[in-house]
Structure 1
Amino acid sequence: MSERAKDFVVTRRIAVAGLSAAVMAPWVSKAQTLKTEYKLSVVGNRPIALSEGAFQWAEMVTQRTNGRINVKVYPGSQLVGGDQTRELVAMRQGIIDFTVSSTINISPQVREMNLFSLPFLMPNHRAFDAIVGGEVGQMLFKVMESRDVVPLAWGENGFRELSNSKRPIQKPEDLKGLKIRFAAGAIFADIYNGLGANPVQMSFADLQPALSTGAVDGQENPVNLFLGLKMDALAQKHMTIWNYCVDAGLFHVAKPVWDTFSAADKEIVRESARDAAKVQIGATRKGLGVLDPNDKSSLEELAKRGVATVTLSAEEKRAFARATRPVFDKWAAQVGADLVKKAEAAANAAS
């Protein structure tokens, strides 16, 4: 072969190699967009059901992607200094990648999420399931999508029950003068002010020391969270089961992060969220007679720990509902009349 022919062959090989590299470059670039670690924020820690769902999600995604999407949980809202109401903002700032959020903690930024805090809107879990599993749940997903996050699954932190260190609560007047901690959302200040209590907004991180020192008299949280945190050891000796509102859980990803995933990885992350949500819901409802009418082990555990529990009758709940109706109407207007109307219809049909 002549020197000229050799030069031609070499030049052609270089050109082909360059073309191959150009064709492959987008795939290499796409692979390089994956982070070495994805940060998942959640309020609280294990064994709280909301936090358990976060850990399950992180583990499922990491395992199912063979570590390509390596998700690490940062419990206690530590990425936002313990202020769980800032998680959504931190996602939009790129500080947090994944979140399992309480809708109560989102509601200060997303007014529609106050739907779940409207007093006595949802009487039971069937009503809750109908709302999140139907048109209303999809409408709320679209609201979240407009906030630059991608919602993937509904979970549940549970119906919020009332505990205190002073006395049984069976009628609205019983709350008069009690200092009751709430997590976030002006709607809760309105509810407890309307019932004659003294509401105190406080982060989850500050709740336990506040209860132990008597800085607050009571709090409202799901039964299994109460048990998991051993609030009975923090002078909380009275519990009222009234199901006055429910706290939904939301599994979501920051949109800029989501957009870096391949279609296959998106499906893995989505299915993992749904599977983890099922685990979370099961843990939230365990022992309440919901999953199994014969299993009331969580309620029985309250009695074993010396917590005097009052379960309100339908008529007793109506008395609280009447007392808080002005708050319901005020906040329904802010949530959105159409959204509330659809939620009421779904709840009534399911109950």
Structure 2
Amino acid sequence: MPPRLNRRGLLGAAAALPALALPTIARAQPRYKPEYKISVVGNRPIALSESAFVWADLVNQRSEARLNFKVYPGSSLVGGDQTRELVAIRQGVIDGAVFSTINISPQVREMNLFSLPFLMPNTAAFDALVGGEVGQALFRSLAARDIEPLAWGENGFREISNSKRAIRAPGDLRGLKIRFAAGAIFSEIYTAMGANPVQMSFADLQPALSTGAVDGQENPVNLFLGFRMDSLAQKHLTLWNYCADAGIVSLSKPVLASLEPRDREIVVEAAREAGQAGNNAARKGLGANGDRSSLDECARRGVEVVDLTPAEKRAFAQATRPVFDKWAATVGADLVRQAEAAIARVG
């Protein structure tokens, strides 16, 4: 017969049970993926790529290796076609992205707001949009597609360069083959000024410039410098701020929901810091606070930089106004009016 336990022995055995279970509970970890795939167009020094890498680095460090965010630059997970990133997240092919609003605007019509020609004159206007009710409304549009937008960033105002001549008036664009990334609105903008627009992925842009397949392109100044477009016959650069490329640090809704609260907080806070890092990269050396280092570098490389006057910009705005009005209806008249009011308040 087994030995009988007295009352004291039973109590002692019961008290020992929680102590035996504690190490198992303490060792339990959330069942996360071995890797979370983050997509972004291009690579450093593109400001959006800067945001993506900063985001991944901060998340990996602060989660103490519970999370492993890996950045796939050049939209490599979608075959280099940055316009497919949004669909890929919804399909579970990738887990997150730092989107360009230009690249997702074919699927999310409201994002064409940032592409309306000459809506935003400067960074103060851009900040007024993303930091207010307009930015919140745009985030809701994206959230309705099972994607969680976590923070705004910026890739910069898109300026125009070409290999033929200085551009100071709409007529100077006549006959030029100009590459654009995505979105029918850009085709219509350049057609309105007599140019020949050519849609092309970023991966194909540099070879096209080097062979003369296109005469020019439109991208932020710091991207122009980072990818040495001056070495691809792009010797004429016009600063016209005709539209801005906003960035959105985003994660799949199911992925975010799968994270423990502490890790969800880490991901969201890191996204906000990453968005700001992109802003800083996009705006560096363009004249704010007296820093003109990027513009000076253009001149050092032999690039003619034309900085349009307000009157010259108005001529371009007038030439493209029919496109603006048409696409304002597509974006949503109420949203555009809200945006114009926000911009007016910051002068």
TM score, norm. by length of structure 2: 0.93
Corresponding residue number in structure 1 for 2:67: 69
Match of 2:344 in 1: 348
Q: What is the alpha-carbon distance in structure 2 between the residues aligned to residue 261 and residue 26 of structure 1?
A: 18
Amino acid at match of 1:297: S
Cα distance in 2 for partners of 1:65, 1:204 equals: 33
- 1:273 is aligned to 271
Amino acid at match of 1:304: R
Paired residue for 2:287?
Answer: 289
Q: Separation in 1 of the partners of 2:115 and 2:25?
A: 46
8 Å Cα contact 2:30-2:260 kept in structure 1: no
Q: Deviations over 1:222-275 (max 9, x none)?
A: 000000000000000000000000000100001111110111111110110111
Aligned residues: 346
Report the counterpart of residue 310 of structure 1 in structure 2.
306
Give the match for residue 10 of structure 2.
Answer: none
Cα distance between partner residues in 2 of 1:251 and 1:340: 23
CA distance in 1, matches of 2:154, 2:297: 21
Deviation at 1:48, TM superposition (A): 1.7
1:31 Cα deviation after fit: 1.1
What's the CA shift for 1:160? 0.2
Residue 222 in structure 1 maps to residue 220 in structure 2: yes
* SS of match in other structure, 1:119: coil
Alpha-carbon displacement from aligned partner over 1:168-199 (angstroms, at most 9, x marks no partner): 10101110010000000000001001110000
**In the alignment, what sits opposite 1:246?**
244
Give the partner amino acid of 1:143: S
CA positional deviation for 1:3: 4.5
Q: Name segments (4+ residues, structure 1) moved above 6 Å.
A: 15-20, 24-30
User: Is the aligned partner of 1:335 residue 2:331?
Assistant: yes
How far apart, in 1, do the equivalents of 2:262 and 2:185 lie?
Answer: 41
2:319 aligned to 319, 323, 333, which one? Answer: 323
Separation in 2, partners of 1:299, 1:267: 38
Q: CA RMSD in A?
A: 2.7
For residue 106 of structure 2, what is the amino acid of its counterpart? P
What's the offset of the Cα at 1:204? Answer: 0.5
Q: Which residue of 2 aligns with 1:37?
A: 35
In the TM superposition, residue 19 of structure 1 has moved relative to its aligned partner by 12
Mapping 1:1-351, distance limit 5 Å: 3=2, 31-32=30-31, 34-290=32-288, 293-351=289-347
Alpha-carbon contact 1:179-1:216 (below 8 Å) kept: yes
Q: Evaluate the alpha carbon distance shift between residue 69 and residue 217 of structure 1 in structure 2; reply closer, same or farther with a 3 A threshold.
A: same
Show structure 1 runs of 5+ residues with no match: 7-14
TM-score by length of 1: 0.92
In the TM superposition, residue 278 of structure 1 has moved relative to its aligned partner by 1.2
CA distance in 1, matches of 2:331, 2:72: 31
Say if 1:194 and 1:30 are closer, same or farther in 2 by CA, change over 3 A.
Answer: farther
Whole-Å separation in 1 of the counterparts to 2:233 and 2:195: 18
Deviations 1:302-344 (A, max 9, x none): 0000001111110110000001000000000000011100000
For the residue of structure 1 that corresponds to 2:204, the secondary structure is helix
CA 1:18–1:212: 2 relative to 1, 3 Å: farther
3-state DSSP of counterpart to 1:259: helix
Amino acid of the structure 1 residue aligned with 2:310? A
Give the distance between the partners of 2:47 and 2:287, measured in 1 at CA: 17
Do the aligned residues in 2 keep the contact of 1:170 with 1:316 (CA within 8 Å)?
yes
